[in-house]
Amino acid sequence: MLFFSHHTPIGIVTIFEDNGYIIKIDLKKYPHDSNYKKTNVISQCCNELDLYFSGQLTNFTVPIKLKGTKFQILVWQDLQNINYGQLKTYKDIAISIGNSKAYRAVGNACNKNPIPIIIPCHRAVGTNNLTGYAYGADIKKILLNIEINKEIP
């Protein structure tokens, strides 16, 4: 597994690659070691993130590989169907994956999302509010502000 840290408007993110697939994006910096390398796939991911943050990219094409439970993967796949600038409630996602009462579990799966931004868990919200975000509500608001192009309270 290789990784590289990249500067973004929300801070440094570290992108992890395994055999040509992005497997994780972590919103913190890791120390350099022998696995610190900017590969072609990581470069593509950095470029796409830069375009996303500048408002020029609405769909990511970098190859990703999901690792998680069957339920988590169902949720993460459904999240990828939420269009840029749109929101979907945890309950809507639960219904969409065929388990209408699992909205709390959907929230937990969102919290464990290994590839934030590309898998847009920031577009998942509670019924009456934005709810939390694994990397903090402020970052969720920044991401939504980029996409919706207005200030999110």
**Partners of 11 in the beta sheet?**
8
Given 45, 46, 110, 121, the catalytic residue = 121
The answer to whether 121 is a known catalytic residue is yes
| Distances in whole angstroms, Cα of residue 119 to Cα of each of 9, 33, 55, 94, 113 | 18, 27, 17, 16, 7
Q: What is residue 92's three-state secondary structure?
A: helix
- Provide the b/e sequence for 13-42 (b: ≥16 CB within 10 Å): bbbbbeeeebbbbbbeeeeeeeeeebeebb
H/E stretch holding 24: strand 21-26
Active-site amino acid positions: 121
